[in-house]
């Protein structure tokens, strides 16, 4: 059973993902396709379920909260955490290793399809990489810091959770990008 503070972290992260991708709640996006938003919310729910499993494996135990939190405060915390995650992701993408990772991903994309518009593909690769890093920072980075046994992710149960996490993260980033593209088209 998760501690109250871990449950609050899950809720913060649920809202925080929207702020990472959109800078606002997904409900305020003017996407042309309701199905895109429904798909995104479904993936986000699965992601949070997986995070609950991860919290159990790593023995997540954040500091005990002394103040009372309401919905407004949780959303403010989510927005602040998302800003930090985006800022950290930007620094990582701009680092030497980050640029090398983007080059590697771009090279793989071009090997699969040489007819791609290189400029568009560069922007898409950077965006996907940055969003993936921001999600990792928001969800996993903080969880590991607040955990008593982060090394449990190296064990069998942890590896399965980590593999599932990577799949859901990729799906979440792609789903968010579809919403952003649809939103840009409606402007």
pLDDT at 186: 72
Nearest to 56 by CA among 185, 171, 143, 145: 143
Q: Looking at the predicted structure, is the pLDDT value of residue 187 above 70?
A: no
The string of pLDDT tens digits covering residues 96-126 is: 998 888 888 888 887 887 777 878 888 888 8
The answer to whether residues 128 and 93 touch, using CB atoms and an 8 Å cutoff, is: no
The residues facing 60 across adjacent strands are 147
Q: Is the pTM of this model over 0.75?
A: yes
Confidence of residue 31 (pLDDT cuts 50, 70, 90): low
Tokens found for residue 81: 């955490």
Q: Looking at the predicted structure, is the pLDDT value of residue 95 above 70?
A: yes
pLDDT at 107: 84
Specify the long-range contacts of residues 27-35, CB closer than 8 Å, at least 24 apart: 29/179, 29/183, 30/183, 30/186, 31/179, 31/182, 31/183, 31/186, 32/182, 32/183, 32/185, 32/186, 33/182
Nearest to 26 by CA among 176, 170, 138: 176
Of residues 64 and 43, the one with the higher pLDDT is: 43
The answer to whether residues 170 and 117 touch, using CB atoms and an 8 Å cutoff, is: no
The answer to whether residues 20 and 131 touch, using CB atoms and an 8 Å cutoff, is: yes
pLDDT at 69: 87
Q: Looking at the predicted structure, is the pLDDT value of residue 53 above 80?
A: yes
pLDDT at 16: 97
Can you give the C-alpha Rg of the chain in angstroms?
A: 17
pLDDT at 64: 85
- The Cα 129–Cα 125 span in angstroms is 6
Q: 88 by DSSP, 3-state: which?
A: helix
């Amino acid at each position: 059973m998760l501690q109250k503070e871990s449950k609050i972290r899950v809720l913060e992260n649920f809202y925080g993902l929207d702020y990472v991708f959109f800078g606002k709640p997904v409900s305020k996006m003017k996407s042309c396709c309701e199905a895109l938003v429904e798909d995104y919310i479904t993936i986000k729910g699965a992601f949070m379920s997986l995070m609950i499993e991860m919290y159990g494996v790593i023995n997540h135990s954040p500091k005990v909260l002394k103040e009372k939190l309401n919905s407004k405060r949780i959303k403010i915390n989510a927005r602040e955490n998302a800003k930090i995650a985006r800022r950290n992701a930007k620094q990582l993408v701009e680092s030497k290793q980050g640029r090398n990772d983007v080059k590697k991903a771009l090279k793989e994309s071009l090997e699969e399809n040489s007819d791609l518009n290189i400029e568009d593909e560069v922007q898409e690769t950077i965006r996907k990489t940055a969003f993936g890093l921001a999600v990792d920072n928001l969800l996993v980075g903080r969880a590991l810091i607040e955990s008593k046994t982060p090394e449990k992710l190296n064990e069998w149960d942890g590896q399965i959770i980590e593999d599932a996490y990577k799949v859901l993260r990729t799906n979440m980033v792609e789903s968010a990008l579809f919403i952003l593209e649809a939103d840009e088209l409606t402007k």
